[in-house]
Structure 1
Amino acid sequence: MIETPITAQLLRGSIELEQTEHGVLPHRLPRSARTRGADPQILASASQPSGVRVAFRSRATTVELDTVPTKREYVGGPARPDGVYDLLVDGRLAGYGSVSGGHTLTADLATGTAEHRPGPPGTLRFTGLAAADKDIEIWLPHNETTELVALRTDAPVEPLPDRGRKVWLHHGSSISHGSDAASPSTTWPAVAALLSGTDLVNLGFGGGALLDPFTARTLRDTPADVISVKLGINVVNLDLMRLRAFTPAVHGFLDTIREGHPTAPLLVVSPILCPIHEDTPGPCAMDSAAFASGRLRFYAQGDPAERAGGKLTLNVIREELAAVVAGRRGEDPNLHYLDGRSLYGEGDAEGLPLPDGLHPSAGVHRLMGERFAQLAFEGGPFA
C-alpha cells in the first residue's frame, strides 16, 4: 500500500485545512472567521465537512482512509448513528462505510455543558475497485467532524484534473448542511451538484445562516462560477432580528458577496415550507417531552400577532427577499430569486411531512436536489 499525504490538492469543498495532532482537519470557514465572534454552534457546524470529499485519480483497487471522527451524544437523547462516508467512482455511488471510535462529545442540553473524551483513529476500507484509471471521491460525513490522518492505496494517486466544471458556491442553514439526509452525497445540495455536474462548495451551517458578515466575506473570497444563498429559517427560529434590521442586513450580505463576484449568477433562495413558522414567529424550541421519549420535535413559541411589531415569519421573509431582489435587479441583472416552496411546498407536505417539524427527511432531500438541479441549472439562472 502506498501512503499519500492528504493536502489541499486532494480535497474538494473545504475552505481551509488545520494541522492537528493526528493529521488535518477540513474547515468550511477560514480562521479569520472562526476567531471573530463565531459562536460554538457555527464553529461546530463549520468543522463538519458537509460537501467535502477526498478526491483523486488512480488505478487503485483498494483504498484505505484513516480518520478521527468526533461523535456527538446528547444526555437523555437517543443514540446517534455513526457518520457515513460515500465512495463515488466516476461520479457514481460505489460503496459506503463508517468509522467507529474517535472522539466523543457529550452535550447536556439542560445545563448547556459538554464533555469531550478523546479516542483513537479508525480505518475506512474499500476493496474490489476496477483496476483502471478512474476518478475516486470519498465524501466525508456531513454531520461528523472528521480529522484526516492517512490515505493509502495499492496504486499511485494524483489530483483530479481540471475538467472545466462550474464551481457552485452555496450557503444555507441546517437543511443545506444536510440535517436528516441519509448520507453526504444525498444532501440536497450534493444531489443537485451531482445531477448538474458541478463542483460543490457547501457553506450550509446548522443553525448558522444568520447573515453574519464573516460568512459573507467567506463567500466573497471563495472562487466560484455560480452562487446561491438560502436565507430566512434560522433568522426566524432564533428570533434573531426584526424586519427593520433584516432588510438592511440582506442588502449588506449581498453587497459583500458582490465585492468578490460582481457578475456571477447569484440566486437568493427563500425558505422551504415549514408549517410551524409560516405565520408564527420564533423563537423555536425543542419539545422536551418528545425528546425524553426518544423523539425530536420542534415548535414555534411566538405569537402571530407579534408580526405587527416587526417580528419575522417565513411568509414575511419571502415577501421581503423577493422585494430586495426585485429592487436590485435594475443594477444587477445577474441577481435572481427562487421561492423555496418550489423545492418543498404545500403540495409535498401532506405526503412527505417534516419529521421533526423543522427538517426535511432523506426523501425530501433528494426531491429538493432534483428540483433545484432543474430550476437553477437546467433551465434557470445557472444554465
Structure 2
Amino acid sequence: MNPQHDPAPGSSSTPRATDWATTPVTADLLRGALDLERTEHGVLPHRLPARARAQCADGQLAMAEAQPSGVRLVFRTRATAVELDTVRTQMAYQGAPPRPDGVYDLLVDGRLAGRASVTGGNLLMVDMATGSTETRPGPVGTVRFTGLPDRVKDVEIWLPYNEITQLVALRTDAPVEPLPDGGRKKWLHHGSSISHGSDAASPSTTWPALAASLGSVELINLGLGGSALLDPFTARALRDIPTDLISAKIGINLVNTDLMRLRAFGPAVHGFLDTIREGHPTTPLLVVSPILCPIHEDTPGPSAPDFSNLSAGKLQFRAAGDPAERAGGKLTLNIIRAELARLVKQRAADDPNLHYLDGRDLYGEADFAELPLPDQLHPDAATHRRIGERFAALAFGTGGPFAAERA
C-alpha cells in the first residue's frame, strides 16, 4: 500500500529518498499512551490498558479510548523535515456533511510550529437514527512538516484527539533520539468528552492540554468521550499509572446516559476514589464537578440528539428526561454537584490531599451568556481556552491543590 502524501501548509519540497532516516515508533517516543497494540500497519496507541479494555465491550468506550487525546510523539533531533505515515479512522454521520479532518500539532521546543491533517484512512459511518455503524477501509496517509530550524531541538507531534490513529512510519532527514525526562510533574486527568477535547481547535489546545502547558506539567489525558461513568476498570487504571497529580471530572456522562440513580451514585464515587487511593494514598487528588450545561442543570437525562439541523452539519442535543423524575432519584447536574461537594468534604476530614472544584468556576452562567455551548453540551475552541486558563489558575496557581508550594 503506497502512502498518500499530503503537504502541510508552508511545506517545502520533499528531500531526496536517500536523505530520510526511518525510526520505529516505540513506547519511548510516545507520551500519553498506556498501551501500544501491534496492527497490520504499525502500532495503535491506547489510553486504557488491555486488561481494562477486556472488561467492557461497549463500542463507545472502545472508540474513545483509542482516540489519542493527549498522545504525542516526542523526540530530540536536528531534522528540518518530518514525515509521519498513519492510518486514521474518522467518524462520520449518515445524512450529514463530512466532519473536518483531525489536526496534528507540531511543537518545537514547546511552541506551536505547524499544523496539518492527513487524508485517506478508514471511515466509520454512524447512523444516528438506528445506532448502526459501518467501517469503510482506506489507504495510509502522510502528514509532513518541513522548514524546521536546523539545530538540535525538542519536537512534539500531538495526534488528533478525534481520530483513531495507527502509526505506520516516522521519517526524518536527520536521526532522532528519545527525549530525556525533564523532571516535570505528571498530571493524570480523567473526564468526559469535554476533557477528551470535543470541539477544541486542535490536540494541543484542548483545555487539559492548555492547562498542562500553563502548569508546566506532563499530561496523561484519560478524558473518555461518553465514558466517564465511574467504571471500576477505569479507577484501577488511574490507580496503577505512576503520577504526581490526579484530577477526576465527574458527572455529565452519568446524566447523558441516565446510567444510575442517586442511591448508586454516592457509593460509586466512594468506590472510585477508594480504588485510586489504593495506588496513590497521598497524591493530590482533585474532584471536579460538571461545568454549566443548562439543558441538564435541573432536568435529568438521557441526552437525546436533535436531528433538525443535521443536514447542515449541526448536531445538537436536548434533555429527554422529566424534572419530576428527580423525586425518584434521577440525577441532574445540580444534584451531582451537591453530592460531590458533600462526599469530598466528608472524606477530606481524613484525607487532607483530597480537594473539590465546582465546575461552574471553570464555566458558569456568565460564560454561557458570552460563549454558549454550540450543541448544548460541548464547548467551542474559545471556551476550551477559557476553561484551560481557569483550571491552571485555580489548580496550579498559588494556594491551589496542585501548586508547587504544596509539594
**SS at 1:289's partner residue?**
coil
Matched residue, 2:261:
242
Asked if residue 176 in structure 1 is aligned to residue 195 in structure 2, the reply is yes
Aligned letter for 1:19?
R
Separation of aligned partners in 1, 2:283 and 2:137: 43
Matched residue, 1:62:
81
Separation of aligned partners in 2, 1:111 and 1:348: 35
**SS at 1:350's partner residue?**
helix
Q: Which runs of 4+ in 1 moved over 4 A?
A: none
**Which of these residues, 206, 209, 213, is aligned with residue 187 of structure 1?**
206
Matched residue, 1:382:
402
Separation of aligned partners in 1, 2:316 and 2:88: 27
Asked if residue 148 in structure 1 is aligned to residue 164 in structure 2, the reply is no
Matched residue, 2:4:
none
Asked if residue 275 in structure 1 is aligned to residue 294 in structure 2, the reply is yes
Q: Compare 241-250 and 38-47 and name the one that shifted more.
A: 38-47
Q: Could you tell me the TM-score, scaled by structure 1's length?
A: 0.99
Matched residue, 2:6:
none
Deviations 1:228-282 (A, max 9, x none): 0000000011111000000000000000001111110000000000000001111
**Which of these residues, 201, 226, 233, is aligned with residue 207 of structure 1?**
226
Separation of aligned partners in 2, 1:166 and 1:281: 38
Instruction: Kindly state the Cα deviation for residue 154 of structure 1 after the two structures are TM-superposed.
Output: 1.1
Deviations 1:199-220 (A, max 9, x none): 1000001100000001001101
Structure 1 38/252 Cα, relative in aligned 2: closer, same or farther at 3 Å? farther
**Which of these residues, 122, 132, 157, is aligned with residue 113 of structure 1?**
132
Matched residue, 1:224:
243
Q: Could you tell me the TM-score, scaled by structure 2's length?
A: 0.93
**SS at 2:308's partner residue?**
helix
Asked if residue 48 in structure 1 is aligned to residue 64 in structure 2, the reply is no
**SS at 1:229's partner residue?**
strand
User: Gaps (5+ residues) in structure 2?
Assistant: 1-19
User: How many residues in Structure 1 have an aligned counterpart in Structure 2?
Assistant: 383
Matched residue, 1:291:
310
Matched residue, 1:342:
361
Deviations 1:77-105 (A, max 9, x none): 22101110000011110001001001111
Structure 1 194/281 Cα, relative in aligned 2: closer, same or farther at 3 Å? same
Instruction: Kindly state the Cα deviation for residue 292 of structure 1 after the two structures are TM-superposed.
Output: 4.0
Aligned letter for 1:186?
T
**Which of these residues, 327, 330, 333, is aligned with residue 346 of structure 2?**
327
Instruction: Kindly state the Cα deviation for residue 131 of structure 1 after the two structures are TM-superposed.
Output: 1.1
Matched residue, 1:165:
184
Separation of aligned partners in 2, 1:12 and 1:294: 33
Deviations 1:346-383 (A, max 9, x none): 11111100000010011000000001111001120001
Instruction: Kindly state the Cα deviation for residue 293 of structure 1 after the two structures are TM-superposed.
Output: 4.3
Aligned letter for 1:298?
F
Instruction: Kindly state the Cα deviation for residue 324 of structure 1 after the two structures are TM-superposed.
Output: 0.6
Aligned letter for 2:317?
F
Matched residue, 2:56:
37
Aligned letter for 1:107?
V
Separation of aligned partners in 2, 1:272 and 1:49: 23
Instruction: Kindly state the Cα deviation for residue 330 of structure 1 after the two structures are TM-superposed.
Output: 1.5
User: Gaps (5+ residues) in structure 1?
Assistant: none
Matched residue, 2:12:
none
**SS at 2:37's partner residue?**
strand
